[in-house]
Amino acid sequence: MASERSRTITAIYPGSFDPVTNGHLDLIARGAKIFDKLIVAITRNLEKDPLFEIQERVEMLETVTFDWKNVEVDVFDGLLMDYARARNASVVLRGIRAVSDYEYELQMAMMNRKIEPHIETVFMLPGEAYSYLSSRLVKELARLNGLPKGLVPAAVEQRLRLKFG
């Protein structure tokens, strides 16, 4: 017996996206297929020294997610659960590349559940080609002029080359 879903499932995929990588895009593409609406939420993390300003990250994400009509790019600060409630989200999407990611993400998911028990965290593994990829590694390679093709979308690669010329 099939039951019909009467509500829209909104998920939030939070992160710094400094810069967005093809690993992020892999999760966005798969999340967009699963959820009715996927909000890619850029966090304002004052503890990090970002390479790209918030507006630059918004522009890059909007450019590379343009084809997904159910994907929205937004910015937030403060508690993720407060933001999720304000956006009527019922799911937080998180990527896990390695055991070290899992340990950190599990701790965050349990705390988020304590704060807001009605919002679920869904962990997704990246495609095999992106299991090692991180924004930190991309920035380091770009800074050393050694960024191989295929790690970031072309629009992001162009901006990285402009930064490190």
pLDDT tens sequence across 105-141 = 999 999 999 999 999 999 999 888 888 899 999 999 9
**Exposed (0-12), middle (13-18) or buried (19+): which is 135, by Cβ within 10 Å?**
buried
Residue 1's pLDDT band (cuts 50, 70, 90)? very low
Mean pLDDT of 26-55: 93
Q: What percent of the chain has pLDDT over 70?
A: 96
How far is 8 from 150, CA to CA, in rounded Å? 34
Residue 5 has pLDDT above 70, yes or no: no
Count of CB atoms situated within 10 Å of the CB of 160: 21
| Residue of 94 and 130 predicted with greater confidence | 94
Residue 165 has pLDDT above 90, yes or no: no
* Those residues with Cβ within 8 angstroms of residue 143's Cβ, 6 or more apart along the chain or in another chain: 164
**Exposed (0-12), middle (13-18) or buried (19+): which is 65, by Cβ within 10 Å?**
buried
Give the pLDDT score at 81: 98
- SS3 state at 61: helix
Q: Is the pTM of this model over 0.85?
A: yes
CA distances from 133 to 68, 92, 95 (A): 23, 21, 11
How far is 37 from 33, CA to CA, in rounded Å? 9
Give the pLDDT score at 146: 87
CATH class held by domain 10-131: alpha beta
Catalytic residue numbers read 24, 48, 97, 135
How far is 8 from 30, CA to CA, in rounded Å? 17
